[in-house]
Amino acid sequence: MKPIRIGILGLGTVGQSVARALLERRDLLARSAGAPLVLQRAVVRDLDKPRAIPREQLTTEIARVTEADDIDVVVELMGGLEPARTVIEAALSRGKSVVTANKRVVSWHGPSLLSLAAKKGAELRYEAAVGGGIPLIAPLLDDLAANRLLELRAIINGTTNYILTRMAAGDTLDVALAEAQRLGYAEADPSDDVDAVDAADKLAILVRHAFGLTVPPREIFRQGLRGLDPRDIAYGREFGYALKLLALARRGTNGIEARVHPAFVPIAHPLARIDGAQNAVHVVGDLCGPVMFSGQGAGGDATASAVLADLLHVSRRMALGDPAPTVRDFGPEPKLAPLAEARTRCYFRLAVEDQPGVFAQVTQVLAQQSIGLASVLQREPGKMGSAEVVLLTYAAPEAALASAEEQLARLSCVRAVRARIRVEGGDSGGAA
Ligand SMILES: NC(=O)c1ccc[n+]([C@@H]2O[C@H](COP(=O)([O-])OP(=O)(O)OC[C@H]3O[C@@H](n4cnc5c(N)ncnc54)[C@H](OP(=O)(O)O)[C@@H]3O)[C@@H](O)[C@H]2O)c1
């Protein structure tokens, strides 16, 4: 049987795992693909680092993979926007199918690269770009295709989930981040994770497949972990919630809501139990109801599992001589709904003067914005001399909640609004 010849770009954490599996699982993979998968060559920057494959199969010249006649499928595992995007484009332009784990390239350039692939009779697959080893893209496109998806909530950044798990145990953000860096979960510059850039990239990919919405990641509202205090997690727990960095998308009346921010989720919700560096995506379909996918969102072998699944898919098709699929028709393109219209419940923590009448002034501000108050906690003044009031509201539009925050901060009895955290109930946002 004609072998499928593979070239890998990048032999780092994921590339090494993919290369090892191609060598060590030859029979298993050949049976599944219907043809032998042969690792022909791999591109690296440094030829002297120890690698999973013999040195004579290594090169530093990208064109020896993307332009070589003896390569059928290119696996891009270099990461970053450039040169990865240009290189994927070059391979597709030559009619070579590409498998990538690169969320940055897929979230920013996925639609144009998919069009190019279809034009050239090639295929572009990226199961590993979101959720590492968790199958997500294929289930959204295939297994759940008969559904109208109503809602998607995801924990898709393992680093921030690890940090929040530590903070739930009482660590400050700085301490939890330092520990994440020590364990290799967080980069030396953790901004992409902590500022939710990575999660917004991944949400952009998910909303396209779940809702047919094409949105550049920069248009997705994102708020990261900065400013979070372990006390808020402790107060949230008293109300029955766990704090997660949630990537959320929902079908609304004015389009698709898509946002990434810290959110309280009910302790009984399956997402509340996703701890440490785990990832999970919870979707609600109109036929299937709630479904959750969870597992290892990162790591060489877990991510290689998704890369190899794509590779097998492409190889099976090529072995059968079937044409590459055309671009998926998602139907009429929906709009991104404005954040101001999103309805959520909300948690506020206020540092207030220890004086009579504070509560009346605070509730008056909420009433002016038609925001209902669901629960209140009051704490005696601590060492710093100010008392704390913690409020949990009923669902209200984001615009009203933001105005309330501003007005609360202006009250003379309020020293500061220490936190405003959205609450995502198990009931599509909660009823007012
Ligand atoms: N790591 C994970 O758990 C994980 C999970 C999901 C998705 N991903 C995605 O998988 C991709 C790979 O991640 P990784 O963690 O394996 O990265 P990595 O460990 O940093 O490895 C990158 C590899 O690419 C090579 N490389 C980078 N730039 C190159 C260039 N310009 N020319 C030639 N070779 C180049 C490097 O060569 P040298 O070794 O010579 O430096 C290295 O072998 C990324 O898109 C990442 O977002 C990773």
Per-residue pLDDT tens over the stretch 265-277: 999 999 999 999 9
State residue 109's pLDDT score: 97
Active site residue 202: yes
Smallest CA separation from ligand 1 atom 28, residue: 78
Query: Is the CB of 35 inside a 6 Å radius of any atom of ligand 1?
Result: no
State residue 383's pLDDT score: 66
CA distance 279 to 117: 30
Q: How far apart are the CA of 120 and the centre of ligand 1, in A?
A: 26
Query: Is the CB of 45 inside a 6 Å radius of any atom of ligand 1?
Result: yes
Pair 164, 225: CB distance under 8 Å: yes
Query: Is the CB of 299 inside a 6 Å radius of any atom of ligand 1?
Result: yes
Side chain identity at residue 378, one-letter code: Q
Q: How far apart are the CA of 79 and the centre of ligand 1, in A?
A: 5
- Tokens at 333, concatenated: 């393109």
CATH 2.60.40.10 for domain 4-133+300-320: no
Sign of CA dihedral 255, 258, 211, 241: negative
All residues at 6 or more sequence positions from 100 whose CB lies less than 8 Å from its CB, including other chains: 75, 76, 77, 84, 88, 106, 124, 125, 126, 128, 129
Query: Is the CB of 78 inside a 6 Å radius of any atom of ligand 1?
Result: yes
Beta bridge partners of 387: 352
State residue 380's pLDDT score: 80
State residue 385's pLDDT score: 67
> What's this model's pTM, rounded to 2 decimal places?
0.96
Q: Name the pairing type of β-strands 255-266 and 221-222.
A: parallel
Smallest CA separation from ligand 1 atom 41, residue: 45
> Minimal CA–CA distance to 420: which of 347, 364, 363?
347
Cis geometry, peptide bond prior to residue 3 (ω within 30 degrees of 0): no
- Tokens at 145, concatenated: 């295709």
Residue 155 φ/ψ, nearest 5 degrees: -110, 100
State residue 258's pLDDT score: 98
Residue 12 burial (10 A CB sphere; 0-12, 13-18, 19+): middle
Query: Is the CB of 296 inside a 6 Å radius of any atom of ligand 1?
Result: no
CATH class in words for 339-423: alpha beta
Annotated active-site residue in 96, 103, 202, 244? 202
Query: Is the CB of 83 inside a 6 Å radius of any atom of ligand 1?
Result: yes
Radius of gyration over alpha carbons of the chain, in Å? 24
137-296: which CATH architecture?
Answer: 2-Layer Sandwich (3.30)
- Tokens at 427, concatenated: 């009931």
Q: How far apart are the CA of 221 and the centre of ligand 1, in A?
A: 28
End-to-end CA distance of the chain: 64
CA distance 426 to 344: 11
| Residue spans per domain, the chain | 4-133+300-320, 137-296, 339-423
> Minimal CA–CA distance to 154: which of 263, 4, 232, 315?
263
DSSP character string of 110-176: HHHHHHHHHHTT--EE-GGGTTTTS--HHIIIIITTTS-EEEEEEE--HHHHHHHHHHHTT--HHHH
Query: Is the CB of 425 inside a 6 Å radius of any atom of ligand 1?
Result: no
Smallest CA separation from ligand 1 atom 15, residue: 13
Pair 312, 232: CB distance under 8 Å: no
State residue 47's pLDDT score: 96
> Minimal CA–CA distance to 210: which of 258, 176, 171?
258
CA distance 167 to 171: 4
Pair 84, 78: CB distance under 8 Å: yes
Side chain identity at residue 238, one-letter code: E
> What does each C-alpha distance from 72 to 160, 291, 314, 315 come to in angstroms?
38, 36, 10, 9
CA distance 152 to 95: 34
Pair 262, 421: CB distance under 8 Å: yes
> Minimal CA–CA distance to 216: which of 94, 109, 70?
109
Low-confidence spans in the chain with pLDDT less than 50: 426-432
Q: How far apart are the CA of 12 and the centre of ligand 1, in A?
A: 5
CA distance 341 to 254: 9
All residues at 6 or more sequence positions from 360 whose CB lies less than 8 Å from its CB, including other chains: none
